Structure 1
């Protein structure tokens, strides 16, 4: 997973992977031909399934339009519409079948779920967690998966060959441990945005900062949920933000020495723990904060 420059000219080829649920009247100047990627188990939800656009089949004016829409994906905080720009030598029908193949499968509890792996907020996390074998299976006939995330463009190279379709989704499906992280995809994205806000940065995070913060937030969320027994999404997000922003200065703060154990055993709440730090403590934490340094361990 490498950061890349955005397209420097109008795109004329490849396939755009679209999240239909986020399209509005302002996304494209006119309706565009799209092929739906719908697995058989989700035929009743066809309208919400991801779609593909064959860029080469568009008119020059339409190609201008989709290029502008593509470039807008790294600005603002809107949910992604164009999730990826794909290169593949296969035809669009075969590519749609491949995309649909990994949309449905069992979660960590064995229940069948719709997995939005194509969403950049999910895909970027999956690429940091997956083994090389899982990545090759997920990309299959795709040779280049370029996507917008964290205000940058990124690229992952694929093998360009389809894996055995008789294997179903298993070859590229998350393990139970990976689900622990992937279930937090939206929270990770939320905390990343908060990191940008509280740091008062006038420009985007560096690509290396995006990757390190994503990993740190993921670790903090798992720790908060599994070890500190936090269940509320807002509390988990706050804990992750504090952990990554302040690191050990927060996690090992003298005033919180016994509070972590009390929190685990339900003797105090998350808000009670926060209240142990006064305005002077927060001022010192802010002065010492070097938020790109990740925490060295769990609380």
Structure 2
């Protein structure tokens, strides 16, 4: 996964991958023809499954409208409506079948789940934790998966060839270890909202560094510190990603981390051990680090 430039002209080819649940009256000037990507196991949830728009099948005016909607996604703070722009040698029907193939399967606890891997907030995390063989299976006939995420455009090249349909979903399905990351993709997104509040223009490299740091912090917060409340996990991951060891190894918190893991204290009381001056110093060190790393 690498950063790329947004389309610099009206797109005439490829396919838009759309989250139908996030479409509203403002997404397109007029309703565009869409093909449903619904596996047989999710027919009762058809309204939630993604859609494909065949760009070449649109009129020139519709292509302009679709391009404008796609370009708006990078700067939008709303849940993504247009998730990706795909390049594939397949026709729309065959590509829709491929997209649908990996939408349902067993989750981390073994129960059946609907996996929104096409959502940029999930897809970007999958690309960070997946093995090469899993990425190839997930993309299959897709030669290029371009998508807006965290105020940047990204591209992931795919094989551009179909994979064995008899293999089912398993070739591209997350392992139990990978689910630990993928299950908190929404929390990663929430932490990024806070980061963007203070850094309006993170570099692409900084975005990837933060994603990795946030992911590891959330896993540690859940597994080692026994944090369960969503807000506490988000705050812990934000502090960890922002301040790093200056926070995690702060002298005032030396024994507090063990107490938190053992249930002898809570997150609010741990935070309270640091006063205004401590956080002021942490923020100063953070700003110096960001300047040095070129994050803004």
In structure 1, the residue matched to 2:225 is: 228
Is residue 163 of structure 1 aligned with residue 160 of structure 2? no
Question: Of the candidates 206, 215, 221, which is equivalent to residue 218 of structure 1?
Answer: 215
Q: Give unmatched runs, 5+ long, in structure 2.
A: 292-296
Listed as ranges, the matches of 1:176-191 within 5 Å are 176-191=176-191
Listed as ranges, the matches of 1:20-59 within 5 Å are 20-59=20-59
Per-residue deviation, 1:243: 0.5
Q: Deviations over 1:183-238 (max 9, x none)?
A: 010110110121121x3x3x421000000000000000000000000011110000
Q: Is contact 1:213–1:292 with CA below 8 Å preserved after alignment? A: no
Is residue 278 of structure 1 aligned with residue 268 of structure 2? no
Per-residue deviation, 1:288: 1.2
Q: Distance in 1 between matches of 2:284 and 2:157?
A: 41
- Higher helix content, 1 or 2: 2
Per-residue deviation, 1:13: 0.5
Q: Is contact 1:140–1:163 with CA below 8 Å preserved after alignment? A: yes
Q: Distance in 1 between matches of 2:46 and 2:263?
A: 45
Q: Is contact 1:17–1:85 with CA below 8 Å preserved after alignment? A: yes
Q: Distance in 2 between matches of 1:87 and 1:289?
A: 40
What TM-score results when the alignment is normalised by the length of structure 1?
A: 0.95
Q: Deviations over 1:94-123 (max 9, x none)?
A: 100000000000012111100000000000
Cα RMSD between the aligned structures? 1.1
Q: Distance in 1 between matches of 2:201 and 2:99?
A: 30
Per-residue deviation, 1:50: 0.1
Q: Deviations over 1:234-281 (max 9, x none)?
A: 100000000111111110011100000110111111001001111111
**What stretches of structure 1 move > 3 A for 4+ residues in a row?**
290-293
Per-residue deviation, 1:45: 1.2
In structure 2, the residue matched to 1:244 is: 241
Q: Is contact 1:212–1:292 with CA below 8 Å preserved after alignment? A: no
Per-residue deviation, 1:292: 5.0
Q: Is contact 1:129–1:178 with CA below 8 Å preserved after alignment? A: yes
Q: Distance in 2 between matches of 1:280 and 1:54?
A: 56
Give the total of aligned pairs.
Answer: 290
Q: Give unmatched runs, 5+ long, in structure 1.
A: 294-299
Per-residue deviation, 1:287: 1.1
Q: Distance in 1 between matches of 2:257 and 2:45?
A: 44
Q: Is contact 1:14–1:55 with CA below 8 Å preserved after alignment? A: yes
Per-residue deviation, 1:4: 0.6
Is residue 8 of structure 1 aligned with residue 8 of structure 2? yes
Q: Distance in 2 between matches of 1:193 and 1:214?
A: 12
What TM-score results when the alignment is normalised by the length of structure 2?
A: 0.96
Listed as ranges, the matches of 1:74-153 within 5 Å are 74-153=74-153
